[in-house]
Chains A and B, each alone.
Chain A
Amino acid sequence: MTPEEWSAAKEILGEALERPTAERPAYLDRACGGDPELKRRIEALIESEQKAWSLMEAPAAAASSLSAGRRPMFSGERIGVYEVLEEIGHGGMGVVYLARRADEQFEKRVAIKLARVGISGDEMDRRFRAERQIVAGLDHPNIARLFDGGATPDGQPYLVMEYVEGAPLLEWCRARNLSTRARLEIFLDVCAAVQYAHQHLIVHRDLKPANILVTEEGTVKLLDFGIAKLIAPELGGDSADQTGTLFRLLTPDYASPEQVRGEPVTTASDVYGLGVVLYELLTGRRPYSVGDSSAADLVRIVCETEPLRPSAAAARGGGDRPEEPRRLARELSGDLDTIVLKAMRKEPGRRYASAGELASDVRRYLEGLPVSARRDSFRYRAGKFARRHRLEVGAAAVVLAALVAGLLWNLREARRARAAEARAERRFSEVRKVANSYLFELHDAIKSLPGSTPARALLVRRALEYLDGLAREKGTDASLRRELAEAYQKVGDVQAGMTEAGNLGQTAGALQSYRKAVAIREALAAEAPGIAELRGELATAYSAMGRLQSTMADFSGASTNFRKALALREELLAASPGDANLRKAVAGSYYDVGNSFIDRGDYATALEFHRKDLAIYEELLGQEPGDERRQSNVSLASKNVGALLEKLGDLPAAAGQYQRAVLLDQRRSEANPLDAKARLDLSYSYGSLGGCLGASGDLAGAVETYARALAIRRDLAAADPKNQRFQNAVVTALNRIGYFKAKAGDASGARESYREAVAILEALSRADPSNERMRQILAEVLGAEADAEQAMAAGPGTAAAARPGHWQQARLLYGKSLEIWLDLRKRGVLRADVAGEPDRISGLIARCDDALKSD
C-alpha cells in the first residue's frame, strides 16, 4: 500500500465507521465506485475494527510487566553477593531469579525472590531478623530451604532460597497421568511437610499447587514457607482493612475465608489451603471461580458460597483430569468428598485440627478404613441444633458488649499512637484502620442483632470523627475521601435507618450526612471517570438520599435522585451486561423509581417499574433458590407488585403475590430465627395478605392475619425498644386491626387498637418532629380513633347518657387531626391522595358540633 492509497482508504473507512452498521454497505458501494479491490479492503478493515482489542483500551504501560510492579533485573546484575543468571518466574508478589553466589569459587545456584512491595532496608532487616531464625530453622526434606535475605539499596526486599529443579504439583501429576491413589500418596508428603512446619510454629499462609514442586525423582518440595508473612505481613491478618492489598498479593483462588476477611491466620488456614490443593488434585478444577471478581465479591464467594462437592465437580467434566467424568465422580463421592469439604470448612474451628489429622484420614481412606470426618459431621449437626436453640437475645447482647469493649480499647491505643509525633505516618494509617474497622467490620457484624442500635450509632459517630480529622490533614488523598464518603453514608444510614438497619429518628441529620457523601462521591467520580466503581458508589449514595427524602415527603427530590442512580447504573450495566451485582443494582433502582411513583400516587406507572424489578429478582433467585438475600428481594418485590395490583383493583392477583412473599419470608425466618429483619419482613407479608383479605370482604381473616403480624412486631419492639422501625410496624398493625374491626362493626375494639397506636405515634413524633410522614400517619390514626368514637356515639347499643361523652371525645380527636393536616398543607407536603383530608375532617367536626348542640 502506498501513502496515497492509505489516505484514500482511510477517508472512506472513517466515514463508514461513523455510520450505523446497516447503512455501511450502501455507503461503501457509493464511495468505492467501481473499485472492488478497495471495497474489499475497507470491509476487511471494518471487520478488524469491530474485534475486541483489550490491549488498545488502556495505555501500553498497563499491559507491560513494568507496570505490574516488577523492576526488571538482567543477567549479570548483582543482588547482594549474588549474581543474577536469569528470570525463572514471576507473579503477584514479585519476580524469581536464578542466581549464583558470586564470591565463591565453586558455583552454588540459588533462587532469589525479589518482592514487588517496596519497604525500607531497615524495616526489612527488622522484619527479617525476627522471622528468619524460625523460618531458616526449618529442615525437612520436603521443604525448600531459606538461606538468606535482605533489601536492595532501593528498598526491594529479597529472599535467597534453595533452587529446586522440578515441576509444579498439578503439571507433574498430569504429565505422568497419575491415578487418584497415586495423587493421594503425593498429597501425604505435602501434609507431612506442612505438619512439620506447624510443629515449628510456622504457618505457610499461601499454600497452592504452584508453590509445591516435584522433582524428577518424585520428591515433593514446598516453597515459600512463612514467606508471605516476610514479604507482606499484612497477609498475616494483624490488620483490619487490607482487602485491596490482599487482592493483589494473594492468589484469591486459594485464600481461606479468614484471610479474605483480614482475620488472624493460623495453622487452620493452612489446613484450608491443603483442602483446596487436594480438591484441585482430585478433580482437576478449582473449587471457586473467582476470576476478575471485585474485592467485595471475593469475600462473598470465599466466605459464603459452599464449594461444589468434589465428586459433583468431577461429574461436570472439563477439569484437568483425563478420566471419564462419571467414573471419576464415583471414585470421589463419599469419603473423599467428606475429607475435602471438612478441610475446607468456612469456620476454622470445624476443619481438621491439624495437617496430621487430615493426612491420617487420607491414609485411612487409602487403607479402606472408615474416616473420622463422617462421625464428626454428625456431631457437628447435633451441636448446631443445640446451639440454635440456646442462643437468644440476651446472649447476643453479651457478645455486643464484648465487641464494644474491645473497640474502646483499640481506640485508646490509636489515641496513644496519635501522641507519638515521630511516627506520624504510622499513626495515620493506624487511626484510619481503627476507623475502618468500626465502620465496616463491627458495624456490619452487629447490624442485624436486636438491641444494637445505640452501639451502632456510637461506632459510626466515632469512626466519622476520626476520618474527618484525617481528611483535614490530607484532604486530597482520594482513597481517604472515599472512606470518608462511606463513613458519611453509614452515619446517614444509622440516622435514617432506611436501609435494613433500625434507626434513631434523626431525619434532618441523616439528610445532611447523605449530602456530604454525595458531594464527595460526585467529585471523586468526576476526577476519575474511568473507574466504574466510583460511579457505582455514587449511584448508591443517590439512592440512599432519595430513600430518605421520600420518608421526608420530599418526593420530587427523591425522584430526581432515584433517576440519577438509575441512569448511572443502566450505563454501568450496559458496559458489563453479565454482572449479576449490577443487574441487582439496576433492579434496585427500578424499585426505587417505582416507589417514587407510588409516593406521588401514580400507581399504573409504578406497577410498570415494579414488574421490571420483580422480573430481575425472580431470575436471580432462580439461579440460587436457597439464597436468603434473593428470597428477600423477591418477597419485597412481590409485595410491591401485589400492593399495586390491589390498588388498581385486581385483588385475586394481589393475594397471589402476597402469598408468594409470605412463603419466602417464612423460609427465611425458619432458616435464621435470630434475624430480626427476616421476622419483621414476615410480619409485613402477613400484613399485606391480611389487608388483601380484608379488601376482599374476609374481615375475620384479615383481623386474624394481622394479629400474627402484630405478635411478631411486639416481640421485636420489646427486644430493641429504641428501634423506631419496629415501633412503626406495631403502629401499622394496630391501625389495620382497628380498621377491620371497625368495618366488622366492632367499634369499641377498633377504638382500643387506635388508642394504643396514637400513644406510640405521639411519642415518636415528639422525638422526631421533622418526620412529615409520621405526622401524617398520626393525623390519620387520630381521625380513625375519632371515627370509632363517633360510631359508638351513634351506635344503637350505646346508652343515651353515654353519647355526649363519645361525641366530645370524637370532636377532640378530630381537632387534633385537623391541626396536623392543616400544618402539612401549609408546608406544601400534603400528598395528592390525601389532599381532601383537611376538608373532610372539618366536615366531621361540624357534624360533632351539631350532634352536641342537638343533645
Chain B
Amino acid sequence: MTGLLRRWEEGDKAALEELMPLVYGEMRRLAARYLRIERPDHTLQPTALVHEAYLRLVDQKNVAWQNRAHFFGIAAQLMRRILVDHARRRAAAKRNAATYRIGLEGPDSGAGQDREPEILALHDALLELERLDVRQARIVELRFFGGLSVEETAEAAGVSTATVKREWRTAKAWLRHELDAAAGGA
C-alpha cells in the first residue's frame, strides 16, 4: 500500500486507479462496522472513520507525513463517492416508495430533516467549482466530505491553515449562492 501511495504521489495515475477499489472496499467494510456501533456524537464519526481506515491500510512505521496527507486526500474523495452514491440510491428508493410511512419513526426521521438531496446538490455545485478553482474545490472536499479539521486539511492540501480558512469561507459563500440560485431558478 505504501508503495502505491508513493507512486501516486509521483504522478502515476494508474496507481491511483489501482488503489481506489482497494481503499473503497475497505472503507465500505469499515463503514458498515461503524454504523452498527452506536456513537454518542455522530459528527465525530466520519473523521474517526477516515483515521481508522488510514491505520488499517497503511503500515504506520513506513509512512512519511507526505503519505498521510495524500491518504487523507484519497479518503475524502472516497467518502464523497460513498455518500453521494448512497444519497442517489436513497433518492431513487424514495421515488419508488409507497406513499405512506410506517412505524419505527424516531427522533431523526421526519420530512424536514432529510439532508441527502442537499448533499447531492452540493456535490453538483462542487463539480462546477472544480472547473473554476481546483484547489479550492479540493479543500471543500477534504473538509466537508472527508470530515478533516482545518489543520489536517492544510496538511493534505499543502497550504497554510489561514489559506484553508479563507478558501473555505469564500467557497461556502459561492456554493450557497449557487444552491440558492439553482433552487430558485428551477
Contacts and interface: CB of A to CB of B under 8 A. Distances in A.
Are A and B a genuine interacting pair, yes or no? yes
Interface of A: 1-3, 6-7, 10, 13-14, 17-18, 44-46, 48-49, 51, 53, 55-56, 58-72, 74-75, 86-96, 98, 111, 113, 116-118, 154-156, 164-168, 208, 210-211, 213, 223-224, 244-245, 247-252, 479, 528, 530-531
A1 B132 CA distance: 8
A49 B176 contact: yes
A501 B44 CA distance: 37
Interface in B147-172: 147, 166, 169-170, 172
Contacts of B118: 55, 63
Contact of A49 (B103, B132, B147, B173): B173
5 contacts: A61-B42, A61-B145, A69-B36, A89-B109, A530-B41
A48 B180 contact: yes
A530 B101 contact: no
B106 A66 contact: no
A363 B143 CA distance: 60
Contact of A94 (B87, B90, B104, B166): B104
Interface stretch (B17-25, B57-65, B66-74, B75-83): B75-83
B122 A62 contact: no
Given A93-B106, A210-B103, A67 B46 contact: yes
Nearest to A115: B104
Contacts of A167: 100
A66 B86 CA distance: 8
A249 B146 CA distance: 28
A479 B40 contact: yes
A156 B33 CA distance: 11
Given A14-B169, A45-B174, A60 B108 contact: no
A91 B106 contact: yes
Using C-beta atoms within 8 Å of the partner chain, give the interface range for chain B: 35 or more
A542 B176 CA distance: 41
Contacts, number: 213
Contacts of B172: 49, 53, 56
Nearest to A98: B98
**Chain B CB within 10 Å, residue with most, of A62, A65, A223:** A65
A71 B105 contact: no
Given A69-B35, A89-B103, 8 more contacts: A59-B144, A59-B145, A61-B145, A62-B42, A95-B104, A116-B38, A166-B100, A167-B100
Contacts of B105: 89, 91-92, 208, 210-211, 251
A64 B132 contact: no
Return the 8 tightest CB-CB contacts between A and B, nearest first: A92-B106, A118-B36, A59-B147, A61-B46, A49-B173, A63-B115, A91-B105, A91-B106
B31 interface: yes
If over half of A's interface residues share one DSSP class (helix, strand or loop), that class is named, otherwise mixed; here it is mixed
A75 B83 CA distance: 19
A520 B105 CA distance: 37
Contacts of A90: 104, 109
Contacts of B174: 6, 10, 45, 48
A113 B102 CA distance: 10
A86 B87 CA distance: 15
A89 B177 contact: no
Contacts of A223: 102-104
**Chain A CB within 10 Å, residue with most, of B83, B98, B106, B177:** B106
B119 interface: yes
A63 B119 contact: yes
A96 B103 contact: yes
A111 B102 contact: yes
Nearest to A5: B132
Contacts of A116: 35-36, 38
A93 B94 CA distance: 19
A60 B83 contact: yes
B11 interface: no
A68 B116 CA distance: 12
A90 B101 CA distance: 8
B88 to A, nearest CB: 11
Nearest to A111: B102
B43 A59 contact: yes
A70 B65 CA distance: 34
Contacts of B46: 59-62, 67
Contact of A86 (B93, B107, B132): B93
Nearest to A291: B107
B47 to A, nearest CB: 7
Contact of B106 (A155, A245, A251): A251
**Chain A CB within 10 Å, residue with most, of B37, B145, B169, B170:** B170
A3 B132 contact: yes
Nearest to A247: B107
B133 interface: yes
A117 B108 contact: no
A67 B80 CA distance: 13
Given A13-B170, A44-B177, A64 B116 contact: yes
A156 B136 CA distance: 40
Contact of A117 (B38, B45, B101, B177): B38
A164 B100 CA distance: 10
B145 to A, nearest CB: 5
B28 to A, nearest CB: 10
A195 B127 CA distance: 58
Contacts of A60: 46, 79-80, 83, 119, 122, 144-145, 147
B138 to A, nearest CB: 14
B31 A66 contact: yes
B173 A210 contact: no
